[in-house]
Structure 1
Amino acid sequence: MTRALVTVVLGVAVTGAVIGVLPGISADDAWAVLAAAILLGLMGALLRPLLVTLLSTAGWVAVLFGWLVTQALLVWAALHLTPGVHVDGFWPAFWASWLGAVLMSIGLWLITAGQPGAATRHLLRVNRHFRRSVPPISTPGLLMIQIDGLSAPLARWAIEAGNLPTLGRWLRSGGHTFTEWHVELPATTPASQAGLLHGASDRVPAFRWYEKSAGRLVVTNHPEDSALVESRCSNGRGLLAEGGVSVSNVFSGDAPTSLLTMSTVPRRRTGPARYLSAYLLDPFGLTRSLVLTVGEIVKELHQARRQRLRQVQPRMRRDWRYVLLRGATNVLLRHLNVAILAEQMMRGAPSVFCDFVDYDEIAHHAGPARPEALAALEGIDQVLATLEEVAAAAPRPYHFVILSDHGQSQGATFLQRYGLRLEELIRRLTATAAETAGGSGDAEQRGRSGVLRAGIRSTAPEPEAETATTGERPEIVVAAGGNLALVYFTQLPGRVTLEEIEERYPALLTGLTGHPGIGWVLVRSRVDGPVVLGRAGRRWLAGDRVEGLDPLLGYGPHAASDLLRHDGLEHTGDLVINSLWDPVAQEVAAFEELIGCHGGLGGWQNRAVLIHPRALPGPSGIVGADQVHRVLCGWMEKSGCRGAASSAEGEPRWAVR
């Protein structure tokens, strides 16, 4: 009742301000302003749900048109119908609608800022019809929230420092427990989600890779490519196959309901889903997000300037594309994800898996432990508190599982350190190569889509060039992701051996291993199988034999097994190159222009987190996303929200081999 009264008072104040400021609109007295505010509120409450349904059915054009003019039409009608209020045509009403929505959003934010439960009350109010229509369900559901890029060591520190009070409360109460798991090579979101959602991480050798047989570069954050990869991963029994919901993921996990998921974009040829229409047509919800997005952009400009003035190192140039992306991921996408999760929980979905990418994006550009990245983590922790409150009102109980797909490691980039890119170094060392095509773009959010054609670097996305099969191929393709790069000699079929490379390019391997920015190079010998080359030694993986100084020293206890596994993956590179790892500075050197990176080995990028209820015990020492998949399936089977099934070996899905 108090909130309703506050909303009415604020609505009257905003209506009066708009009428007083904008030309073309006037009111005879304060009573006319009060009547206009009340009528506008009533019309919006009654007509907006109907408009959402009608415009969603009509398609995207109708929704986008409705987003622009629906509120203006409501304002125009309310002002015309209110005695004592005068409006000169549609355009004054149009500008009044947007100005009013902005002022209302700012006012509500100022009133509710810091008040616990304000977001929850809004979410429950917009989903109240589900509370009445969905009967109680006794079987617990599983809500899986992925915090993209969060390493286990940083998560522990943030919890202990009080930056993540919701997670800290869950752990201190004894309701949840903290587990660290090892991310196998490559430490990327597509590879981990192929494992987490489908148990098939071995189908993804990198963030992007070249397929010689098809003559194409596969980039996993391109919808067509992610759909192709999922078709290779899916057996119809993914993590979310039995009534689950996939939200903001790369792959769907075979979920029958897939929202904002990259791999299912090509399948969706119809109009927008109702949830998206409702979000776009909610004047206060969307406008509030837009207002906060502008605030996030201003904050980013200030924080980037502060890094420059303080000469923080390492740092990178944060251009306008990232500025806009940060606003979108930290506000718009986060708000939309929360709205979707709340609706699906109120519908009683048995399992939901959602990826929050805010922290990962900021950590790439600012650094994994920098203040702005930690602030993004705090925002996700607040989301967990809101979802916890929504779950208390949902028709079924929910187990919360919080996990990450990989961590991040920090460091000045390869280009910043040495003044050239990896593909330029390879071009110099292969003087006979006529062309070098590369995949080290400027930022992960653009698909790492920088491409070198005939030695000319392009930073613009080239999806057609990347995915097309052509008769003319570049001689060498360098596909970089984080501090890992796969190199392909495209005119030579199959896996090119160490002996062939030394014969064709005698300066290449010694030049790479002798460069200070290269940690090790994996190549397959015709005689000895996979071998890791370093500056002062080599390691044969098949027999685990070391000659000289072990090139994998300092890269972690799983380095050799990770590389042996990666050597057997389809479409792995003829060369697999990892950057340096500086154990003193705790830094790597990304082959892209990102100072927080992941993909290879070195640092915290391979140390992911799994926070789960103590009522759902899991094994320790988990290695690889496929094992996490089996654990999650086992928990769902134990809870009853997924039918029991056994693996091909006859053991429970959660068993760790």
Structure 2
Amino acid sequence: MVRVLVTVLLGTAVVGVVAGILPGISADNGWAVLTAAILVGLLGAAVRPALVRVLSAIGWPGVVLGWLVAQSLLVYVALWLTPGVHVDGFWPAFWASWIGAVLMSIGLWVITAGQPGVATRHLLRVNRHFRRSVPPTDTPGVLFIQIDGLSAPLARWAIHAGNLPTLGRWLSTGSHTLTEWHAQLPATTPASQAGLLHGASDQVPAFRWYEKTTGRLVVTNQPADSALVESRCSDGRGLLAEGGVSVSNVFSGDAPTSLLTMSTVAKQSGPARYLSAYLLDPFGLTRSLVLTVGEIVKELHQARRQRVRQVIPRMRRDWRYVLLRGATNVLLRHLNLAVLAEQMMRGAPVVFCDFVDYDEIAHHAGPARPESLAALEGIDGVLATLEEVALAAPRPYHLVVLSDHGQSQGATFEQRYGVRLDELIRRLTAAGGVAVPEENEQKGRAKVLRAGLSRDTPRYDEVPGRPAAEEIVVAAGGNLALVYFARVPGRVPLEEIEERYPALLAGLTGHPGIGWVMVRSRADGPIVLGRAGRRRLADDHVEGLDPLLGFGPRAADDLRRHDGLANTGDLLINSLFDPVSQEVAAFEELIGCHGGMGGAQSRPMLIHPRTLTVPAELTGADAVHRVLVGWLEQVGCRKSADLIREG
């Protein structure tokens, strides 16, 4: 009752302000304003559910049109029906609806700021019909929340520092425990999700790679390429195969319901009901837009603060990132939360959702910087809301929080040395294998295609046509780069590379920004080359100084595995790693990065109920997948493979 009274009073104030400032709308007295506010609310509550169904059936044109004018029409009808209120046509009502929604959103934010449970009550109210229609069950469900890019060491530190109070409470009360696992090379979201959701991380050698057989550059955050990769990963028995829901992931995990998922987005012919409802909710969407503007203003302030304080390392955070941060840290987070709440109230047995906002901010600001930690706090607040929603759901839920990789920090390769990796390779592969002055490089040099090496240059997926005309393709992700000699089929051996480009390998390993280079030899198999030594991976024989020294005890095993992956590079190049500062040097223009070796990027975490146990050691996303599948079988929301074979 109090909530209704507050909403009515705030709506009355908003209608009064709008009538006072907009030409074409006027009211005779305060009672007319109050009546108009009540009519606007009643009409919206009565008509909007039917509008969502009708406009969703029409498709995207209907939803977009509804988003633009539906609330305006409701406001126009309400004002027209209210005695004592005068409106001169539709357009004053159109502007009144948008200005009123913004003012209402700001007012509700001010009134409810700091009050616990506000978001939960809104979500339960929106999904109240499911509470009546979905039969309850005692069989638990599992909700998997992926915090993209959060390393186990940083998670522990943030919990101790009080940045993650919800997770801290779970751990301190003993309901959950934190387990660290090892992300095999490459430590990147597509590879880890291919493992977590499908148990097939070996299908993804990097964030982006080149396929010699087709002349295709593959990038896994593009719908067509992610769908292609999933077709190679899927056996129909992914983590979410039995009634599961995939939300905001790269791959679907074979979920029957796949929402905001990259690999399945092309299969959706029109807007889903949840998205239509979100867009057509004037206050929900407008509130998100208002907070998005606030996030953009905050980003501008925080970027300026880094410059004024001369924080190092840092990067230029241009307008594209400013908009992206607002979209991921507010709009997408709110939409994900709305979808998760609906699926839980529907009683979905298992849901997997990836929250990418921390990872995106950490890329540009640094993984432990204040703005990145603030994003973590926001996700922790989402967990608190989901915990409350779970109490009202038709089935009990186990909440599991995990990450796909961590992040490592450092000034970029180009910031340190004034040259991009593709430019260095171009100079080292110039005619005769001898570096020549830059003005003469065009004559006789190998043509090099860069893929993702700079945010200011076209990514491989933006380069028109097939890159088969290029002699060398350099595909970078974080501080790992895969180099392909595109015109030579198969893996090009060390001996042939040295014959074609005599200065290349020595030039790379001698560069201070390169940690090691892996190449396959005809005689000795995969070899890791460093500045002062080499390591033969077949028998771990080391000549000179071990190039993998400082990269951790699993480095050699990770490289042996990667050497056997389809479409791995002819050369695998990892940047420097300083074990003292824990810094790497990304080949992309990113301050926080992942994909290669060095630092916390290969140390993700798994926070799970104590009743769901894990082995003593978890190496690789495929191993985590097997654990997660076992949990689903244990709680009873998935049949075991043995039962399926018997059936």
User: Shared fold by TM > 0.5?
Assistant: yes
CA apart distance, 1:473: 2.1
1:480 pairs with 2:479:
no
What is the percentage of aligned positions where both structures have the same residue? 79
Q: 1:21 offset after TM fit, Å?
A: 1.1
Alignment TM-score, normalising by the size of structure 2: 0.96
- Aligned residue number for residue 342 of structure 1: 341
SS of structure 2 residue aligned to 1:214: coil
Pick closer, same or farther for the CA change 1:647–1:507 going to 2, 3 Å: farther
User: Structure 1 residue 441: deviation in Å?
Assistant: 4.1
Aligned counterparts of 2:418 and 2:143: Cα–Cα separation in 1: 46
Aligned to 1:463: 461
SS state at 1:491 partner: coil
8 Å CA contact 2:446–2:471 kept in 1: the answer is yes
**CA separation in 1, counterparts of 2:374 and 2:618?**
29
Q: Do the aligned partners of residues 552 and 318 (structure 1) sit closer, same or farther apart at CA in structure 2, a change above 3 Å counting?
A: same
Amino acid at match of 2:92: P
The residue aligned with 1:175 is 175
The residue type paired with residue 220 of structure 1 is T
Equivalence map 1:115-264=2 (5 Å): 115-264=115-264
Q: Which amino acid aligns with 2:535?
A: R
Q: Give 1:57 deviation, angstroms.
A: 0.3
Structure 1 letter corresponding to 2:607: I
Distance, in Å, in 2 between the alignment partners of 1:397 and 1:26 is 52
* Aligned pairs (5 A) from 1:561-576: 561-576=557-572
Q: Which amino acid aligns with 2:373?
A: L
- Asked if structure 1 preserves the Cα contact closer than 8 Å seen for 2:422 and 2:453, the reply is no
Residues of 2 paired with 1:127 and 1:506: CA distance? 66
Preserved CA contact (<8 Å) 2:451 2:460: no
Which residue number corresponds to residue 506 of structure 1?
502
Find the counterpart in structure 2 of residue 536 from structure 1.
532
What is the aligned partner in structure 2 of residue 438 from structure 1? 450
State yes or no: 1:550 paired with 2:546: yes
1:180-211 Cα shifts (integer Å, max 9, x gaps): 00000000000000000000000000000000
Deviations 1:366-405 (A, max 9, x none): 0000000000000000000000000000000000110000
> C-alpha deviations, 1:590-619, integer Å up to 9, x for none?
000001000000000000000000011111
Match of 1:17? Answer: 17
2:328 aligned with 1:316: no
Instruction: Give the structure 2 partner of residue 518 of structure 1.
Output: 514
Whether contact under 8 Å (1:179, 1:620) holds in the other structure is no
Aligned to 1:286: 285
- Tell me the SS of whatever aligns to 1:524: strand
Q: Which residue of 2 aligns with 1:591?
A: 587
Moved more, 6-15 or 515-524: 6-15
**Distance in 1 between the 2:27 and 2:302 partners?**
44
SS at match of 1:402: strand
Give distance in 2, aligned partners of 1:646 and 1:302: 57
The answer to whether structure 1 residue 421 and structure 2 residue 420 are counterparts is yes
CA shift, 1:434, in A, is 3.3
Decide whether aligned partners of structure 1 residues 314 and 478 sit closer, same or farther in structure 2, where only a CA change above 3 A counts.
same
Q: What is the CA–CA distance in structure 1 between the aligned matches of 2:104 and 2:38, rounded to whole Å?
A: 14
Q: Deviations over 1:286-325 (max 9, x none)?
A: 0000000000000000000000000000000000000000
| Deviating 4+ runs (over 6 angstroms) | none
**Structure 2 CA distance for aligned equivalents of residues 461 and 122 of structure 1:** 41
For 1:304, the aligned partner's letter is: A
Are 2:641 and 1:629 aligned?
no
Q: What amino acid does structure 1 have at the position aligned with 2:590? A: L
Contact 2:450 2:459 in 1 (8 A): no
Code of the residue aligned with 1:2 in structure 2: it is V
Task: Please give the alpha-carbon distance, in whole angstroms, between the structure 2 residues aligned to 1:513 and 1:469.
Answer: 30
Name the counterpart of 2:611: 615
Partners of 2:196 and 2:624 within 8 A in 1: yes
Q: Distance in 1 between matches of 2:640 and 2:85?
A: 65
| Structure 2 CA distance for aligned equivalents of residues 6 and 597 of structure 1 | 46
Q: Retained in 1: the 8 A contact 2:421–2:453?
A: no
- Counterpart-to-counterpart distance in 2, 1:279 and 1:210: 39
Mapped contact 2:450–2:460 kept (Cα < 8 A):
no
Q: Identify if the C-alpha distance between structure 1 residues 3 and 307 changes in structure 2 by more than 3 Å, giving closer, same or farther.
A: same
If the length of structure 1 is used for normalisation, what is the TM-score? 0.95
Partner residue in 2 for 1:355? 354
RMSD: 1.3
Structure-1 residue corresponding to 2:364: 365
Measure, in 2, the Cα distance between the counterparts of 1:236 and 1:254. Answer: 6
* Equivalent AA in structure 2 for residue 66 of structure 1: G
Q: What code does the residue aligned with 2:105 have? A: S
d(CA) in 1 for partners of 2:7, 2:277? 20
- Find the counterpart in structure 2 of residue 305 from structure 1: 304
Instruction: Give the CA deviation at 1:539.
Output: 0.4
Residue 257 of structure 1 aligns to which amino acid in structure 2? T
> Aligned equivalents of 1:275 and 1:376: distance in 2?
24
Mapped partners of 2:34, 2:619: distance in 1: 63
Distance 1:138 1:43 in 2: 39
Please say if residues 215 and 473 of structure 1, whose CA atoms lie closer than 8 Å, have aligned partners that are also in contact.
no
Tell me by how many angstroms 1:284 deviates: 0.2
Task: Return the alpha-carbon distance in structure 2 between the equivalents of residues 474 and 333 of structure 1.
Answer: 38
C-alpha deviation, 1:442, in angstroms: 3.8
Does the residue aligned with 1:182 lie in a helix, a strand or coil?
Answer: coil
Contact 2:140–2:396 (8 Å) recurs in 1: yes
CA drift at 1:218? 0.3
Q: State whether residues 483 and 570 of structure 2, in contact with CA within 8 Å, keep that contact through their aligned partners in structure 1.
A: yes
Q: Does 1:331 align with 2:330?
A: yes
* Letter in structure 1 aligned against 2:145: I
Give the deviation of 1:462 after TM superposition. Answer: 6.1
Unaligned runs of 5+ in 1: 444-457, 651-657
Indicate if the aligned counterparts of 1:481 and 1:598 stay in contact, CA closer than 8 A: yes
Could you say if the C-alpha distance between residues 647 and 404 of structure 1 is closer, same or farther in structure 2, counting changes exceeding 3 Å? farther
Aligned CA distance change for structure 1 residues 147 and 646 (closer, same or farther; 3 Å): farther
- Tell me the CA shift for residue 647 of structure 1: 12
Shift in alpha-carbon separation, 1:104–1:236, aligned structure 2, 3 A: same
Does the C-alpha gap of structure 1 residues 33 and 275 become closer, same or farther in structure 2, counting only changes over 3 Å?
A: same
How far did residue 266 of structure 1 move?
Answer: 1.8
Which moves more between the two structures, 3-12 or 298-307?
3-12
Distance 1:17 1:441, change over 3 A: farther
Structure 2 partner of 1:100 = 100
Tell me, in whole angstroms, the C-alpha distance in 1 between the residues paired with 2:540 and 2:457: 41
Q: Which moved more, 1:306-315 or 1:16-25?
A: 16-25
CA–CA separation in structure 2 for the residues paired with 1:39 and 1:494: 71
1:271 Cα deviation (Å)? Answer: 1.3
Q: Distance in 1 between matches of 2:473 and 2:142?
A: 42
Report the alpha carbon displacement of residue 465 of structure 1 after superposing the two structures with TM: 3.8
Query: 1:638 Cα deviation (Å)?
Result: 0.2
Q: Measure how far apart 1:414 and its partner are.
A: 0.2
